[in-house]
Chain A
Amino acid sequence: MAMKGKDCVAIAADRRFGVQAQTVSMDFDKIFEMGPHLYIGLPGLATDVQTVSQRLNFRLKMYELRENRKIKPKTFMSMVSNLLYERRFGPYFVEPVIAGLDPKTFQPFIASMDLIGCPMITDDFVVSGTCSEQMYGMCESLWEPNLEPEDLFETISQALMNAFDRDAVSGWGAVVYIIEKDKVTKRLLKTRMD
């Protein structure tokens, strides 16, 4: 999930990689850094998570070489949308969540997408994954506008943890990135491991 705060954004995800009931690994990272202030979270089928992140990285590097500047988050969102819609009739099973700051103005930006690339930009929070219903509930109740980075961290952590504690196939650790103008803080959460 990703949330907007005051001049900052936060993006967080669990760390489980499982095959139906069995948990195979507890350090599977689903959030990828695409730029100094641009992160994408890719929940869904693990193989597609890796393929999409690698393909996206390639396209992003080509863009930066041609344009000779860092990409804007909104443009990046369109790039992801295009990549996913190319596979309209045999889609990648990922539902990405994008969080970032504009490289020039440092305006916060969050967006999410469905598996064939329909973009959705919001002003508060975006969620994606197997427990999206639980996450919507938690975010609706906990989020408020203009949260400072520390408060945003608390809010997003509580929302994520309590949501995936109600889902049997999510959890087993969590990672939270707080993206501010001058720094990005990555924190691992101490969660229930069952």
Chain B
Amino acid sequence: MSEKPENAPEHCPGTESEDAGKSSACQGCPNQNICSSAKPKGPDPDLAVIQERLSSVKHKILVLSGKGGVGKSTVTSMLARGLALDDNLQVGILDVDICGPSIPRVMGLEGEQVHQSGSGWSPVYVEDNLGVMSAGFLLSSPDDAIIWRGPKKNGLIKQFLRDVDWEDTNYLVIDTPPGTSDEHLSVVQYLQNAVIDGAVIVTTPQEVSLMDVRKEINFCKKVKLPIIGVIENMSGFICPSCKNESQIFPPTTGGAEKMAEDMKVPFLGKLPLDPRIGKCCDEGTSFFEEFPDSPAVTSYQQIIKGIRRYCNEDDHMDTS
């Protein structure tokens, strides 16, 4: 991508070009000295550091949406907790939602702070095999706001990827804010040398959500990020009194399953709207432990199986 400053001549090669400051068109340009004396742009050295740091993390999964409030953080925490039920797995959650970090509350870690060790930043551990890192741990009060423009957010994300010591981790689940902007570009860019297994895309059934999610899917395709699959969350509400189902968020255009089919991406499953899930998120407790017989638990377990299968974990799959 070449940037042409406003005062540049007509055939300016662009400030990022190798010919910057050196081409015949540069003669007489007020920026010529700056461009010609700039050091040649090499690859960002931090990319190699990040690659090295994350080489001990076997599988990296991004949880994306495009639409806000569909349950990315909920799904991230449930996937991570569900994976961590297998004692053989070491699981991590990285929360790169810098302005709205929900993960500390959802994981029952509000008020925790980040600790530095000789080997870097230590995640905060919920269980022995489940560690968490979030911008929320950098805030001293729940009212503190991170009011940062893009470049500063990118800096923190890079630091998270470079400096957090995950040790040997089987699954790192990365929670993101909604959208297709700085945070998403940065994560993909900084992880370009480390392998991301893929993205899990979360949506709710209605078209107002699907509209944004189609954009997110196209973003993934644009940056060549593999898509593990789409999850339809808040898919039907069962009244606790009469047990009839209501579609609070009606799938007026066919819901996520049809959208996934149209966009030729896998569909991982549906999750029902169970008020007890929200309550566990508010209280920071594990829905798997509190309500193991809920239909939502079965749905999550199926989805986790699908993800593990995608990540080629066949030797650890149980046959039930």
Q: Do A and B come from one complex?
A: no
